[in-house]
Every structure is written in structure tokens, then in C-alpha cells.
Structure 1
Amino acid sequence: MEFFSRLIGASKAQSRQTPPNPQQRLARFKRVYDQILYTCQKTKHLDTDPAATETVRTSLARLTTILHDESRSPAPHLCLQFSSSSQLYATISRLAATTYNESLVREAVAVFGALIDSEEEEFLTNPRFAQSLMGFIDRVSGGQTFFVGEDTEGEIVELLFGIAAKIRLQPEILPVWFRARTKPTPQSADAKGDFAGVTQKEDFPLCYQLIDHVHHEGRIGDFSRTGLLYVFESASKSQELEAWIVESDLPTLMATGLGALYSQLSRKLSILHPAAELPIILTLSDYAELQEPLEAESIFSAKLEEHMHTFLSYLTFWQDVLEHCNSLDVRATLIDHFQVLFLQQLLYPSLLESSDVDGGSSVAVLTYLRRILDALDHPELVHMILQYLLAMPGGARSVTPHSPVAAKRRVSLMLLAQAKDDADQLNPSLFSLVDLILSSVQSNNPQTVVAALKLVTVIVSKNHNYAIGSLMRVALSNVKEPQRTHGALNAEIEAYMAVAEDLSSDNLDESYDTHLKDALKILESHTCSAETLILNGTSPAQRRAVPDVICIRPAQAHFLAKDDTFFNHLMSMLRTFFTNNVEANLGLTETLVTLSSCSLLGLEGWLAAEPSKYQYSDSDAAPTTADENLRNLLIARAAPSWSPEHAPILLTTLRYLQSELAMLKAEIPSLDQLIALRKQVFQVHDSISAAAENKTSTPTIMLAQHQTPASSSTAFDKAVDWSPQKPTEVLKRLLAEATSSSTPSRSASPGGSGRGRSMMGSPTPGSSSRVGVGDRRSWQSTGGPGTPSPRERSRSQRPGAAGVGRPKKEGRDALLEDVVKAADAEVLRRRIKFPIKRGGDAEAGAEREDGGGDGKGKEEKNGKGESEPERDASLSHILTNVVILQEFVLEIVAVMQVRASLFGEVKFA
């Protein structure tokens, strides 16, 4: 009996779950709808009767559920037919809009969404439906007396986005939602007030609702921007909509909205890392001595990042609109408004008003420009910004409008941009972005220098053509065949490698292999390299088919001029590398590597020796062979030399730093050990951080056994104990704790960047081995992926990263703190003065921390007879910069070698 009872019960439950037939569903739908009407008639003011309001809200939710169920059920759909014939949507829109209750508004939006999603009864083609919906949304979302919450507003915008998406896919329904009730009227072209256009919300309320929300963060802004993008895309399919957009104030609203978002960004900016969240490479330097400017907002603040994300999202939206809009008149009108209302009247004035004196405003402008250029890829916008800000010759090549209305709008905008007095005219020819960059690179404020170098890196890497002739003085090259020889490449690489090996006496092969792989990626991703690689593999007919992007001039091969101001500033900064701010040095080396990565920029003169200055020995110049081809081959393979005055500028500057470090090593015999220890610190820190993040297993690191010098021959070494023994012992203990629970991987030595180098004796600077294409350091060689370089370490260790800031006094986080403390011994905080003094005056080369100055002092003469002010830094700071410098030299050598193979820049015969 129990079995039959369960079977009968299950049968009854199943019968209750059976969907009702269409007539039953319609009857239930009408009962719910009648309940709403009855409650509203019985209650005069729903907003004062919570019980009645809840009844209506529940009934609206039930209507939505029934509509969704019906859409999933077989035809006929009687409830949808009833909704259309009874104009139920009109009643619901009036009810929800007049009660000023957000819960009712939200349920009403859900009902409209269910009707639209049903895709039946042609609701989207019903003018009455469109009028009811837009009137309802205008009352609850665009009114001044009632505002809905963010969640409800998000659902409203999502509903509007759905309608815009339908219009994009079905252009025939556009006349239902858009109707130009007023025709364009002739207006005076010389009236400056005409630039704003005509506000015509009643013509296209859907469009204006979307434009009102494009500046929002999150899903509201995303849905509104995408929906508006669909509207602009539809303009190419409707001449009436195209003319309406050109005449309306929509372009003005978009441009002023972009300007409003830019104005929300802080006028003064600090790019200093918070003291508690410093990356290890900055912790082990004098970075903590920097002071944040007053009233400057931190670039790491959540508020600024939120504003920046919103601004860049809107800027990307502009780019997407121009990319997808096929209407020439609309594109021309938008570009004109962008140029006048944003670029000329807001962005450039902020550049002009920036100052390095007030602390932060130059940093802010340089940083914002970098983020803008980094986010933009559209050639028209990039061309407009750079051509104007860099004060490059020639007008902006913008789209020419076809219609008279668009032409008149352009004239009005140009008149608006003109000042009444010529003296008040803001003109980049008086002070351009080039002037700001050149002055910022020479600033005494490290933050300004860093911001300028980062901006230059973006311009040179993404838009190199615009740097030619503006930021950099160049000489064009008409030589088609390579002039440098294979032997010269080997000699150049050997010269740079000798500098790298002399900076720190450890093996560099494994780290160099990693740099080779990185260099290949950098070169292949560079914009100029991509074009070169494409053209090198195509026929002449295919080359003509490559589209000509909007640019100030076509790409051409060029060389750096010897009197180039910007490059000379970089070299001046490189000469003071050991005492420079660490983050500024990372920006400097990145800029130089980016310059060397451009396939159109020749290396001769600044990075490589000029072929006309090659010098050969008698045996190399006249090989004893009768075969002419073999003779040419031997000459090309021979390693030339060059006089010191004809050496590459970069190599000369690096050798100057090499000599400075040699003098410091003479005064501090244990300096090599301290440098090796600093590399170990970075390696241990990276290993512990990686293990804490559970990304990789902690590698086993073989620490070098350092011995404390028994005695010192100089008075300086007697006065100061430079022994690194104590920090080394602490690191050994920390490493044992860090690796006790980790799976050991390949052995690695204390490489300069912690890239994991094998511990081998370094070759002497006078080694006769040739380093070139095809030998043991060939770019095809394989090496295991290393840990981050100093520059990568500074980038990756942002606030919140494991081991960077917010240290917890437990586990590996405590070990990270111990590593820093062990590396920051008191002896490493002693001050070292530069230029290094020779001979008996060496004792003055170091001071205790309490006697350290501000880096300024008496001026001395350097090797070239130039005045060079005294500067100082702690020994810990200098050690970190030595590590960065060695990695930079390896990067440069890797780029030279990969370029030679990738672009065929050297000749073999």
C-alpha cells in the first residue's frame, strides 16, 4: 500500500507541474493584470501605502514570470497578443513613473525586457510601445526629482543597449525609434555659437539616454558606450540619421564629456611608490629619501585609477566609433570636435600650464599623455594628437566632409578655436611637447625624469615616425646595402661584453641567452620592424598594396645626428648612472633599448662603429690569397679596430662608467663580492616571492663563498670595514629556510638580475674569443627562462604583490623582510662621493650617512675637461645601479646581435 501511495502522490505532483495550456495561462495573466488595475484604482497614492505598493510589485514580477514562461512554450502566445492589443505596457509605464518607487520601476523594466526578448508581436516596430518605453525611462532616469539606484539604472541601460543592438541588426526598425521632426536650416557659418549643434532629444531619445550614461564606470558605462557605438554604425545605413548626427549637439556632448573626464584627473601627480610597498630593487637604494610633492595625488590611489580607467574607456570608445562608423560626414564632424574642444582647448593648455617647480603638474601631464598614446591605436587620432603637440609641419590630414551642413560645422569650430587677439593664441610652435620632454629629462626631480622617459618610450616604440625630426634630429640614409661587416659586429659585441664582464666578475652566458630571447620578441613586436619584415618578404607589386596609414611622412631609414639634443641628454644622464635614481635609470635603459630596437634607425655612430672609421692590421687589410671572393670574405670576417675618438658614443660613455667603478674597486677591494651579494639578494627575494605566490618552485641557489679581505692597503679600507660576511651568513640561513619545503630546480648563480646564471669564472677583458652571429652566444641558442630582470622586477612588483608591501610577520613574507634587512647592512649605507678622487684623497670618497650631502657640491673636471658637480649616493644604491647597468649592457648586445640576423644588417663578403 505504501508503494502505491507514493506512486499516486508522484503522479499528482507531476500533474501539478504540467504547464497550463495557452487559455489557462492567459486567464492567469489577466487575473494578475486585473489585480494591478484594481489595487491602483482602490489606492489613490501608492507611494503612501506600502502594502498596496508591495501588492503591485509582486503582481508585476508575476507578469514577467508568465511572459518568460510563454516565450519558452509552444505557440500560440496569447499573453503576448493580449499585451499588444491592450497596450498593457502603456499602463505599466504610467504606473511606475508616477509612483516614484524604485522597486516598482525595477519590476516595470523587467516587464519591458520580457516583451522585447519575446521577439513577437513586433513590439520594437510599434511606435506606441517605443513612445511609452522612452517616456517611462525619461521620467525615471532623466528626471530631476527622482533618481534610481545604480543597479536599477544598470538594468535600464542594459535594456537600451538591447534595443540599439536590435536596430543595428534590423535597420528597418530605426524609424520607429528615430524620427527627425525638424529639418536642417541654413545657419550663419561665421557665428561661433553654431558649433554646439541643435539639441533634439525628442527626435532620438534613445540616443540621448545612452550619451547621458557613457561617462559612468562599470557595466553602465560599458553598455551605454557599446549601444551608442551601434547607433553611429547605423548612421552609414540611414542618410536621415547621418544628417541628424552632424547637425545635432551629439558630437559636442561627446567631446565635452571626454574633456570633463580628463578634468577629473588630478592636476598634480606623484608616481612615488608607497614606503610600505616598495619593490625590492627600490628598497635597496636611496629611493626612500624622495619626498612626495604637496597636494599631489598618488598614482597608486584607487580613486585616481578609477578616474583614469573611466577616462581611458571613453577615449577607447571614441576610437571604436571612428573605427566602425562608415559615414565620412559623421567621422569628419567627430574628429573636428575632438581636435578643437579636447585637444586644442584642454589637453594642450594643460601641457602649457604644467610646471616642474610646483611639484607634480609636469609629472601629471606627462603621465596622462603616455596613458593616452598607449591606449590609442586609431591612426587619425594618433596623428592629430602628435602632429599638433609636437608642432610638426603640415596640417592635420583629416576626413573632408561631403555635406554642406558638415562643412559649416567645421567652419564654426575653426572660428571657435581662433582667439580674438593673436597674442592670446595658444600655439605649440611656441612651447611644444618636445620642449616639455627636453626640459623634463634634465629636471632635478627624479619623478619628472621618469615620467618623461616613459612617455618617450611609448612614442618611439609605437609612433616612431613622429619622433623623427621633432624629438630626434636625424639624417636620412640612402644606402640600400649594409656597410657594417660581420667582423665589426663581433668586435663591437666583444667590446660591450668586456664592459659587462668587468662590471661584475661572474659568468653571463645564461643571462645573455635570456636577453637574446627577449630581444627577438622586442624586435618582432616593434611597429617599424613589423613593416620591415613584411616588406622584405613581399614582391614590389605586393609592397604597393600595403595600406598607407595616416602619418606625417612615410617611414625611411635614418641615423641619429651627432648634435641630437635629446640623445645627448640621455648620454649626460648615463654618465651619472651610479648616483641616479634607480627608477630613472630603469627608464633611461628602457628608452635606449627601445631606440636600438627600431629597424629603421641605424646603429652607426651611437651604438656601433661607423664603417668609414674601421682600421685593419696589415694582415687583415691584404690577405695573401689570389681568390678575390675569398679575399673579400676574409676582410669581412676580420675584426677591425677604431680610434677612441671614433668609438660609438654609447660605448665611450659605458667605458667612462667602467673606469669610475674601477677606481671605486681600488678603494674597496671587496666591492666585487658586494656586487655578487646584491645579485644574490635579488635572486633570493624573487625565489621566495615566487614560492609564496605558488607560481613556480623555488630554485636552489648556490651562494658564492666570499672571504673577508684580511687587510687593506688604503687608508680608506682601514677606516671602514666593508666585509660582506655577516649579510652572506644571513642570506644562507634565509635561503635554507626558503628552500626547505620547495622542490629544487636547476642550479643558478647570483646573476645580475637573478636570471639564474651558472657559476663560472668570467673571461678576462682581453679574451680573444669573438662574439658574433653563429658562435656560442648565437641568438638561436636555447637557455632556460630566467627570473625577471631589474626593469621587469620594478614593473611586476606593484602594490599588493606577494612580498611587496604589507609584509606579514609569518611564513615566507617574514623571510622577504629578513632578506631586505640582511642586504641593508649599516656598512652599505655609507655615502660615496662622485667623481671618485684618486690617490691619497681617496678617504674623502666615502662618508657616513650623517655626513652625506644632497648630491650637490663642488664642481670638478672629468676626463673631457667638462665641469661635473659632486654628487653622492649610498653604497647600497650604487650596488643596485651596477646590477642594472650590467643587465642593460647585455640587453644592448642582445639587440645588436638579433638585429644583425633578423634584418641582415651586416655583410659577410
Structure 2
Amino acid sequence: MDFWSRLLAHTPLSSAGSRRDFAKDPARRLHRFEKEYSQLLHTWRTSSNLASDHEAAERIEIGLQELTHILSDESRRPLPHPCIAFAAAKQVYIPVAKIAASSFNEWIIKEAVLFFAGLVESEEEAFVETDAFAASLTNLLVRITGPNTIRLGADTEARIVELAFNITTKIRLDPDILTAWFKSHHDGQPTAKPLDGREKFAGRMQKQDFPLFYLLMDYIHHEGKVGDFARTGLLYVIEAASSSVMLEQWIVESDLSTLMATGLGALYSQLSRKLVIDHPPDELPPILAFSDYQHPKSNYEVVSSCSPEFQSHLDTFLSHLLFWQDVLNHCRSVDVKSTLLEHFQVIFLQQLLYPSLLESSDVDGGSSVAVLTYLRRILESLDHPDMVNLILHYLLGLPDIVGSVSADSGDVVSAARKRKSLDLATMMASKGGTAADPLLFNLVDLILACLRSQNNQTVYVTLQLVSVILKRHHRYAVITLLYTEGVLGESSHRTLGAHQQEVEYLMSLAGSIGGQDNFDEIYDNTLKDTLVRLENHPCSIKLVTPKTSTHNHKLPAVPDSLPGAPRDVRSHTLHPSDPLLNIVLDRLETFFLNPVDINLALTEAIFDLAACGFMHLEGWFMRSPQNYVYEEEDDGPPLPEPPLDPESQEYVEYKQMQSMQESRRRPRWIQSSLPRLLKILQALCDQVAAYRETIPRFDDLLQQRREAFQIADCASQPLPLHPPLAKTPLPHPSAATTSAPAAERPAIFDGSRNTSRERPSGLEGFAQRILSELGTPTRSGSPRGRKEAKRTGSDRSSPVPVAPAETALRPRAQSGRSFSPGNPVPHSVMPGSWDDRGDVFASQAKAFQAIDQSLLARRVGLPVTTKPAEKQQNVEPIGLSFDRQRTAAGVSSADEKLAADEEEAKAAEGGGEDALLAPSEDGHTDAEADGEGGTAQGSAAEDRTVSVSHVLTNAIVLQSFLFELASLVQVRAGLFDEVRFA
């Protein structure tokens, strides 16, 4: 080789190829690894202090990086792997750990952690099973994460915790590896007894017994992937306790349960003691924006629920609570699980959660709102039966049934648990004072008191808590929160005729509110939603699970391991005098004066009361079969003559036909015998009719509000309260807005969905409708006219007879003005060109908008409603709009209609207050006249007023609720077999 060839061979151009040749040749690769390792040791030994010798520290960092690269590259190549074998034989990891532990240099520590991670991931030489490797790595992790080390960056900490997690993963896959990482010590000396020994284990465990365990414990409260790695790794260690008696006892006697309980309590204590429920101003749901909603005031002491800092604290607390649940799910040791639950009850429930409930008040700035919200979120998050049972069993004041702990002296784990329980009791006694007793004031007392509160926010969060208990933990509510009675047999079920009659009644009430939507489609969607909600109820599994065989199919039981859990729910009904029911109904009576969010929570709670398959509706929701009264002449179609032989099969079939025909008979609809809930619903619909008669253009405003919600559901942002007229075409109304369950209505009307199209105005629908009435083809089809026949006053209090029942389960279309293509076009817009008419349309639309804004802002109270016996017999159909009355009186042209509207608005602003504000003169309404305790509509309710806009929003909520109730009755009949056909 000449001079130039030798020169080019040592240039960087060929260095990459030479490096690849070294990597391919195992012998040359090993030579290079040994050389790098020798240089690393030489640099470390010749440097007196790596913390101050930056040049030596940099060389060591590069050397560690090179060693890690060689090992990583070799692990991907075919055998042999001499470098990995050399690292195992020479125990290269021991000096690497010492170098990193004494360097006080984050870069060296980080490269050392990566070096150990490469060895752990290697499937050769079984590094993780070696005692020397485990001791060396454990010493390194303890030194670099201890109190006397440098502060590490987030990335380095993440790599450290990930390395510990990888070790626990291998322990989970192979429990025999545990012997290298967990060792019990007595007087500082390792025990010579195998890990599976039972009889000679004594004394307290120390931190050096299992440093990896405590390393993970230190990071379980961290956010991000660091906390995820730590929590999951700890779960794997607890899961491995079932394969090692020594580890199981060590965990019982360790401070794991104490640290977890105190950590949870510390996170709970960080939550604000006073809270108000609010929404960000730019994210206010339209269903609240189109009402009299006012943002509550918050300050340094009272925190808003939409505060980012508060949300962060709450999320951290709930994530740690879910970690508790994960630990219990992974724990296979009964003693470890019992120790954890005992500390959870004593340290968290008795010392923190229950005292905060006991000391809460709704007059001190929202402490009741805070603690009830926290409890609701806790019960929403948990589904582990032992944790749920522990919380509700204690807070509801259920009697304790103490399970006996095994007294077998040979069971060292149970003996350790007894010692741990005594230590806990001693610790609590040393703090002084006695825990409050839930038997004196329990969660039921708090709920009933808060539902009677004058603070709307307290009522709102309490109703939400009630719904969570009813939906997720119904068997606890049956024996505590609700006043129920047992039901035996099918005689309490309603008959087919009564069922059809009651569904039709609910649908007629929903139809009386009016509207132009496709209610058939809306109701079909509501039926589907209701079916899903009923099937997902925890009590429904025993009723809807197919029973193909009584011997081979056993229904799953609730896996409660704690004693004292309530028994499974049985057939029951709600007593009409139930305090919770009557408080809810008292609130329902003032529906149109209530805040919209409270009405949403009210309707959700009533739905949840009736959602359980074991809850019979008859008596408190539907009419009781014992009160059915039939018309004597209503015997149905005649049956054939009965057979003479009563013992014959024909006679049996005849009796069955006779029984089925009797079940189809419809009882007389007696208003006084209706349950209070149905009476209140009827009264609310009568109030809608009264509002329709006193508020100008009520039907148009109601339909406009419904379309505004539909637009907001498709918009990227919530609609403003009084949006200007837009020029974009109105999209077709979506049926999904009204068909959703009550619990999801705020989310449905939440305008947070992204869309690319321009957001039209809520008033655009009204303008579009005016144009279509004046002959402008702005829509593909003309608005539907009202086709319902006139109904008398008695029709309002009795169901409309429609047959068959399937067709009666659909709402009737209710529309506002009815200018169909066959109707005459107003005379004032017939002549002239298109441009002239466009100018007229624009000016009229602006004028109507001004009038509507004035009407929406007006304040109204509860309207006067007459008793059913006093209602007039000859009235217009329910929902007759004010414009139709004007048209019938001769106001037909657009100009005359506009002038009439302006005069009415001026009259309302001036001396026409009584036309809009129509309180009851004597303070009595239908509910009070019936003697059902309508206390909410007394003089206090008369003094309250709300805007017309608020009334419109509540009317839409009421109509959606009526659809849900009708679908609930219909779905339950088929899903739970509740209707008698004979």
C-alpha cells in the first residue's frame, strides 16, 4: 500500500465503513468493547472529582454512551454476543453503578440508566435474576433518587422510573425473579430462610428490604408518564404478592396502606372548601344562555368549578382514587386488600370525607356545593364493589357487621394484619377526639336537607348526587334513600288497556306544547336512547339476561368481599309519601320559574327513580290497578257463546279470550285519582296553554327557540343570547336535539363541536318562515299546517282515544302559522317586482326582530290556570298562535300584521303588564286544589318572575321530558314484561 492509500484509509470518509466492519465481526466488536471499558475505568480512577473535572466527566459520558451503543447493536445481530457475555462475566455493571452514583452529574447518570436498561432488556445471561446485578442497580437507584443527590430533570426521572417499571414487568412474568430484588433483613443481616417460609418471620420490615417498591411509591403521585410507570409497576408488585407469603406479609406490615390513605387525604384537602358551579363565559351551553342564567360570583375563598387550577386538583385527586381501585383489582391477597380498605375507611372516610359532609352548609359560600360535588364525582368514578360498599355503607349509616379475623397463629399474614389494625387504632387514638357517628346524621339526612335549600346551586348538585346513587348504586338507595314497599305477584301490573291509555296521555301532553319538528323521528330516537339507559342499569342484568337453562346458567353475583353489603334488589314500589319523591315534585310544580339547570337535574332524577327494572311504576307514577273503574257499557266486541262443558279445552280458551278482552278495556280517566306526578305534568301543560294565550306570537317564539338550539348543536360556538339576523340559509332541524336523555341535554346543546360552515342566527328561522309565508320559495316544502281537530276543555284532562295503540304512541304535529301553498297569499305583497318584495321582507324582518327582543325580555310569573271542571267547552286547539287569532280577526296583510304587532308590544311595555304577567289571584293552582301538597306555588312563587325567553327554554325541556317519560313506560313494558294481557 502506498502513502496515499494509507492516508485515505485513516480519513473520516472510511471511518463509517470501518465501524461497520467492527460491528459485523464478533471478535473485533469485543475488542472494541473491552477497549472502551478500560478507558472508562482509567478515566474514573485518575479523576479525583467528576463533579468538578468536566473534561473527565465528558469522556466518561461518551464512554458510557459508546458501551450502550455496542450492546444495543449486538443484541440485534445474530449470535454469538461476546460483549453481552463479557459484561455478565466481568460484572461490568458494578463499576458503572459506582461511577454514576458518585459522579453527581446528570448526563453520566442518564447514560448509566440507559446502560442498565439495555442489560435488563437483554434476554441473555439473565441479568435481572442475578443478585449482584439487582444489588448494584438498587444501590444506584437509591443513591440518585435520594435526598442527598442532585436535582434531576424530568426526562431523566422518566427514564429511571421506566427502568424500575421494566423490572417489575419481568417479575410479573416470572415471579422467581422476585428473590433477587426482595430480601428481608433481621438486624441488618439477610435472612437465610427461603422466601416461602412462614414460621420464623418476625419484626418490622425496613426500607432496604425492597427499595424498588419504595422507589415506585415515591412517584405514584406524579403526573404524566412518570406517574403512569410508577403506578403500573406498583400494581405488578402487589399482584406478585400472591406468589410469595413473605412479600404478602411484608406489604401488610409495611406503610403502603398508610402512605396511600394519607396521600389520598392530602389530595382531597387541596380541593377548595367552597365551590360554585359555573361555565366559562365563552363556553356557556345555549340551553343556559337562552335563559335567565347568571354567572355565580367567585373570589379568593369561593372557587369556580371552571377554574383550570381547580380542575387540575380535582383530576389529580380522582386519578389517585382510581389508582386505589386498580390496586384492589390487581390484589389477589385478601389480607392485603383488607388492610388497604381498613386504612381507607379510618384515615380517609372517617377523618376527612364524612366530617367535611357534616360541617358543610349552603349559607357559608358554597361548602355544601363543594362536598356534594366531590362525593358525586367519587361515586361516578368508582365501580369496585368493595370501595363503593365501604363508602355508602359508612355514609348512609348502615349497621356494621364485623368480619372475624382468623385467629390461627400459624397464619402469619392474618396475624400481621391484626397487628396492623391495632397499630392503626392506636395511631387514631393518639390524635385525640372521637369520630362522628353517621348513625346520628347520615347522608340521607344531608340530601333531604339540601333538597329543601333555598340555594339553587345546592339543590342542583344534590339532585345530581341523587341521580348517581339511583343509576349506579340503586340497591343502596332502596333501603336508605327511598321509602319503598315490597311487591308480590303480577296483579300490581297495569293492564294493556291502561298502559295504552297512559302512554297516549303522556304523548298528548307532549304534543300540546306544540312545534314543527318531525316528532315521529324524535320519539323513535328517544325510544332507542331509553332502551340503552334501561339495559345499562345495574339492576337490569337479572331481568334481561336470557335464561336458557336453570342448571347451566347462573347469573353473576355482585362480588362483595366485605360484610354488610345490601342484598340484591327485589320487586318494590315507591310509596306515594316518600319524602324524596315529594320534595322533587314540589320543585317540579314551579318548573317554569326554576333555573334550567335545576329542571334538567329534576327530570333526570325522576327518570332515574323509574329506571330500575324492579321498581314498579304503579301507584306513584302510573295509576294503581286497584283504582281502575270501568264503564259498564264498555265490554268490547261481543264474544261467541261459551261452551257448555266447563271442563273442555274450548271452555279454557274461551276464558282466556274473555280475560284478554277485559285487559284491553280502558279504565275511566278520573283526574282526582291520578298520581301527583301526572297531575303536575298536566298542570304544567295547562300553564303552557295559558302562556300561549297571553304572550303574543308564543308559538313562533317557541319554534324559533327550538331551531336556535338545533343550529347551536351544529355550530362551532354557542349562540349569543340575542343574535343578529344572518344571511346564511337555515339548515334542516336535527331530530337528535330533542331526543336525547335529560342527563345529556346540556351536552347536546353545547356548541363545542367543530364545523366548517358559517354559523347562522337563531332568529333566521323566523325570518325564513316569514318569507315562505309571503310566497318566497326559501325551502323545499311548505311548513306543515295544523291538522289537529279542535279539542274541548275536557280533552285536556283526559287522554285522546286513538287506536291502535302503536299509532297512538307518536306525537301529533303542532305548528304555528299555517300558510300552505293552497292558502291565499297576503294582498300587500302580490304586486311589484322581486326587488320590491325583498325590501319589504328585510324591513319587516328587522321590525319583527325588534318586537321579538322586547317580548323575550319581558318578565312573567306563573299564569292563571282554571280547574278542569271550570274549563270552557268550546276553545281553540291547544297551541293556537296569536298570529292566527289576528288573521281570523281580519288582519291579513303583512303591513297590517306588522302594525298590530307594534301596537301590542307598546301596550305590553306600557300599561299592558297584566297581559304578560298573570299571577294567580288566590295563590291556588290545580295541584293545591287537589290536595296533593302543592306548596311550591304559594305566595312565594307568585312574587317570582322570569323572562319569556326563560319560559320558552323550559317549555322545550318539558316537552323533551314528556317524550322521555312516554318512552320509559313503553320500553319498560316490553323489556321487563310489565303489562298484563290477561
TM over 0.5: yes
Partners of 1:456 and 1:747 in 2: CA distance:
46
2:175 corresponds to 1:171: yes
* 1:180 Cα deviation after fit: 1.2
Distance 1:98 1:313, change over 3 A: same
Q: Which moved more, 1:310-319 or 1:891-900?
A: 310-319
Aligned to 1:141: 145
Which of the numbers 555, 571, 576 marks the counterpart of 1:557? 571
Residue matched to 2:473: 463
Which of 99, 114, 129 is the equivalent residue of 2:133?
129
Give the SS at the match of 1:269.
Answer: strand
Deviates more, 1:310-319 or 1:577-586: 310-319
Aligned equivalent of 2:532: 521
Matching of residue 303 in structure 1 with residue 309 in structure 2? yes
C-alpha separation in 2, matches of 1:331 and 1:759: 67
- 8 Å CA contact 1:335, 1:398 repeated in 2: no
Check conservation: 1:32, 1:63, Cα contact below 8 A.
yes
Letter paired with 2:923: E
1: CA distance, partners of 2:658 / 2:478: 39
In structure 2, the partner of 1:447 is 457
Which residue, 330, 340, 349 being the options, matches 1:324? 330
Partners of 1:484 and 1:419 lie apart in 2 by: 61
Q: Aligned partner of 1:161: which letter?
A: F
Q: Which residue of 1 aligns with 2:842?
A: none
Partner of 1:672: 699
1:659 CA displacement: 2.2
**CA contact 1:441–1:569 (8 Å) conserved in 2:** yes
Distance apart, 1:467 and its partner CA: 0.5
Of residues 272, 277, 287, the one that matches 1:271 is 277
| Higher-Rg member (1/2) | 2
Are the counterparts in 2 of residues 485 and 637 from structure 1 also a CA contact under 8 Å?
A: yes
* Aligned equivalents of 1:527, 1:327: Cα separation in 2: 27
**Aligned-partner residue type, residue 343 of structure 1:** L
Alignment of 1:843-858 (within 5 A): none
TM-superposed CA distance for 1:128, in Å, is 1.8
Name the stretch that deviates more: 216-225 or 769-778: 769-778
Q: Is the 8 A contact 2:325 2:387 kept in 1?
A: yes
Asked if residue 489 in structure 1 is aligned to residue 489 in structure 2, the reply is no
Matching of residue 435 in structure 1 with residue 445 in structure 2: yes
C-alpha contact (below 8 Å) 1:265/1:307 kept by paired residues? yes
On the 8 A contact 1:701/1:747 being kept in 2, the answer is: no
Question: Is contact 1:482–1:906 with CA below 8 Å preserved after alignment?
Answer: no
Q: How far off its partner does 1:210 sit?
A: 0.8
1:52 counterpart residue number: 56
Paired position in structure 1 for 2:86: 82
2:72 equivalent to 1:68: yes
Report % sequence identity: 42
- 8 Å CA contact 1:328–1:399 kept in 2: the answer is no
Name the CA shift for 1:82/1:729 in 2 (closer, same or farther; >3 Å). Answer: closer
CA distance in 1 between partners of 2:553 and 2:669 (Å): 39
**Cα pair distance change 1:603/1:636, threshold 3 Å:** same
Task: State the Cα distance separating 1:512 from its structure 2 match.
Answer: 0.9
TM-superposed deviation, 1:407? 2.2
In the alignment, what sits opposite 1:248? 254
Q: Does 1:636 align with 2:667?
A: no
| Structure 2 residue 402 is matched with structure 1 residue 392 | no
Question: For residues 581 and 484 of structure 1, what CA distance do their matches in structure 2 show?
Answer: 35
Superposition deviation, residue 240 in structure 1: 0.8
Partner of 1:701: 732
**Residues 184, 205 of structure 2: 8 Å contact kept:** no
Distance 1:690-1:875 versus aligned 2 partners, 3 A rule? closer
C-alpha displacement of 1:243: 1.1
Counterpart of 2:471, as a letter, is S
Distance of 2:974 and 2:320 partners within structure 1: 42
Distance 1:414 1:456 in 2: 33
Match of 1:873 among 946, 963, 969: 946
Matches within 5 A, 1:885-896: 885-896=958-969
Is the CA contact (8 Å cut-off) linking 2:730 and 2:764 kept in structure 1? Answer: no
Contact 1:45–1:99 (8 Å) recurs in 2: yes
* CA distance in structure 1 between the partners assigned to 2:277 and 2:480 by the alignment: 27
| Long gaps (5+) in structure 2 | 1-8, 189-202, 642-653, 720-727, 735-759, 772-777, 812-845, 868-903, 930-934
Q: Partner residue of 2:872?
A: none
The answer as to whether partners of 1:275 and 1:288 remain within 8 angstroms in 2 is no
Seen in structure 2, the aligned counterparts of structure 1 residues 762 and 210 have a Cα distance that, compared at 3 Å, is farther
Matches within 5 A, 1:467-866: 467-480=477-490, 483-506=493-516, 508-534=519-545, 537-542=547-552, 546-550=556-560, 551-621=565-635, 624-625=638-639, 626=641, 627-689=654-716, 700-701=731-732, 730-731=764-765, 761=787, 766=795, 768-770=800-802, 774-775=806-807, 777=809, 825-834=853-862, 836=864, 860-863=923-926, 864=928, 866=935
- Which residue of 1 is the match for residue 208 of structure 2? 202
User: Residue 350 of structure 2 aligns with which residue?
Assistant: 344
Task: Describe the shift of the 1:134–1:702 C-alpha distance in structure 2 as closer, same or farther (beyond 3 A).
Answer: closer
* Cα separation, 2, equivalents of 1:691 and 1:469: 43
| TM-score, normalised with respect to structure 2 | 0.75
Alpha-carbon separation, structure 2, partners of 1:224 and 1:745: 61
Which secondary structure state, in structure 1, belongs to the residue aligned with residue 209 of structure 2? coil
Q: Is the 8 A contact 2:730 2:768 kept in 1?
A: no
- Report what 1:382 is aligned to: 388
Offset of residue 97 of structure 1: 2.0
Q: Structure 2 CA distance, aligned partners of 1:823 and 1:78?
A: 90
With over 3 angstroms needed to count, the CA separation of the structure-2 counterparts of 1:736 and 1:280, relative to structure 1, is farther
SS in 2 for 1:427: coil
Deviation of 1:139 after TM superposition, in Å, equals 1.5
Distance 1:13 1:219, change over 3 A: closer
Look up the equivalent residue of 2:132 and give its one-letter code.
Answer: R
Does the C-alpha gap of structure 1 residues 118 and 729 become closer, same or farther in structure 2, counting only changes over 3 Å?
Answer: closer
Deviation of 1:17 (Å): 3.6
Question: How many pairs are equivalent?
Answer: 804
Partner Cα separation in structure 1 for residue 123 and residue 974 of structure 2:
60
Three-state SS of the structure 2 residue aligned to 1:527 is: coil
Offset at residue 213 of structure 1 (A): 0.9
**TM superposition shift of 1:515:** 0.5
Aligned partners of 2:547 and 2:553 also within 8 Å: no
Distance 1:838 1:828, change over 3 A: farther
Query: What code does the residue aligned with 1:499 have?
Result: L
The residue number in structure 1 matching 2:749 is none
CA drift of 1:249 comes to: 1.4
Using the TM superposition, give the Cα deviation of residue 776 of structure 1 relative to its aligned residue in structure 2, in angstroms.
Answer: 6.2
Residues 438/127 of structure 1: CA separation in 2 closer, same or farther (3 Å cut): same
Shift of 1:133: 1.1
Q: Secondary structure at the match of 2:310?
A: helix
| Cα deviations by residue, 1:757-803 (Å, 9 ceiling, x for unpaired) | x8864576647443786446489xxxxxxxxxxxxxxxxxxxxxxxx
The offset of 1:416, in angstroms, is 5.0
Deviation at 1:482, TM superposition (A): 5.8
Distance 1:101-1:656 versus aligned 2 partners, 3 A rule: same
Q: Which residue of 1 aligns with 2:898?
A: none
One-letter identity of the residue aligned with 2:416: V
User: 1:131/1:702 Cα in 2 relative to 1: closer, same or farther (>3 Å)?
Assistant: closer
Name the amino acid aligned to 1:35.
Q
Q: Deviations over 1:715-750 (max 9, x none)?
A: xxxxxxxxxxx998644679999xxxxxx999998x
Matching residue's letter, 1:252: T
Decide whether the 8 Å contact of 1:246 with 1:329 is kept in 2: yes
Alpha carbons of 1:106 and 1:10: their partners in 2 closer, same or farther (altered >3 Å)? closer
Aligned to 1:906: 979
User: Residues 575 and 620 of structure 2 are in contact (CA less than 8 Å); yes or no, is this contact kept in structure 1?
Assistant: no
Cα distance change of structure 1 residues 262 and 51 upon mapping to structure 2, 3 Å threshold:
same
Aligned-pair distance for 1:367?
A: 1.4
The aligned counterpart of 2:889 is none
**Matches of 2:694 and 2:729 in 1, distance apart?**
37
Equivalent residue letter for 1:413 = L
Question: How far apart are the structure 1 equivalents of 2:207 and 2:496?
Answer: 70
Q: Match of 1:484, SS? A: coil
Distance 1:465 1:698, change over 3 A: farther
